[in-house]
Amino acid sequence: MSDKNTTTSAAPDGMPGSSSGRRFSVEKPKNMGLTMRRLWGYLQKNKFGLSTVVLFILINTSASLTGSYLLRPLINDYIIPKDVDGLFRMLGIMLIIYLAGATTAYLQSRFMIIISQKTVNEIRNDLFEKLQSLPLHFFDTNSHGELMSRFTNDVDLISESLNNSLTQIFTSIITLTGTFLLMLYISPLLTLVTLVMVPLMLFLASQVIKRSKNYFMAQQKAVGVTNGYIEEIITGIKSLKFLDMRKKQKLILKN
């Protein structure tokens, strides 16, 4: 039994495959939690790498927040009183902090790229092994272009999400927590005002996500249709060239 809801659409008229009853599908997980657990199962194989990435994110975020906080004493204690020696000392400290943040940000990105590529490689290997066990009926009723799209575009999308979204989630959580604590320390009243606006921001973000999800699914469906069209056109060209070559050979033999 499939664990996905599938939205299907026939290939457009005039495209190869439209007359053969092939259909292109856009699938979304029926159980998002199960899907995320399966993806996490792949990521867990790189626990050390993930722990290192989280550590780098902590250092990078802490450096960013510390550098921002030091701007106030830099202005109040050194620039306004015109304490040049103290100003240069503070600038040196801030330079070290920002360099540490930039270095860990670079290392975080490098480690995450390695982890995502290893994960995507394992997913592709499992997909290939799964294809070997499928019956011929599956390949007869599914477009080759769509299958190619699953192996290339869809898996590349997972890789891109791991590279960007996963680190952004960790960074956002740590940044929000650190910023909230820093705001409480500086001004509890302004912190309360900000918290009042959070539900409105979350509501607006949820509306944007709902609208963009439909456009994203339509985009993925269009990619599958396009890949199917290109693959079958190229296959047809090869067949036509073969038939044309056979026809020329027959004419040569007759002459």
Tell me the CATH number at 92: 1.20.1560.10
**From residue 231, how far is each of 121, 132, 160, 225, 242 by CA, in Å?**
23, 20, 24, 10, 17
**16 inside domain:** no
Query: What are residue 30's phi and psi, to 5 degrees?
Result: -75, -35
Is 18 domain-assigned?
A: no
In a domain, 109, yes or no: yes
- Lowest mean pLDDT segment, chosen from 59-63, 110-114, 135-139: 135-139
Average pLDDT over residues 93-114: 91
- Please work out, in degrees rounded to the nearest 5, the angle formed at the alpha carbon of residue 92 by the alpha carbons of 180 and 98: 45
On whether residue 116 sits in a domain, the answer given is: yes
Tell me, yes or no, whether 59 lies in a domain.
yes
The pLDDT of residue 107 is 92
Structural domain span for residue 35: 25-254
Phi then psi for residue 112, to 5 deg, are -70, -35
Burial class (CB in 10 A: 0-12, 13-18, 19+), 197: exposed
- The full DSSP string for 150-172 is IIIIIHHHHHHHIIIIIHHHHHH
Residue 50 and residue 42: Cα distance in Å, rounded? 12
Residue 250 lies in a domain: yes
Q: Does residue 85 sit within a domain?
A: yes
Backbone angles phi and psi of 31, in degrees to 5: -120, 95
Is 12 within a domain? Answer: no
Q: What is the mean pLDDT of the chain?
A: 77
**Number of structural domains found in the chain:** 1
Which of the pair, 28 or 7, is modelled with greater confidence?
28
Q: How far is CA 8 from CA 5, 28, 156, 217, 222, in A?
A: 10, 11, 22, 11, 12
CB 218 within 8 A of CB 7: no
Q: Which residue has the higher pLDDT, 135 or 237?
A: 135
Model-level pTM?
Answer: 0.61
How would residue 92 be classed by pLDDT, with cut points 50, 70 and 90? Answer: very high
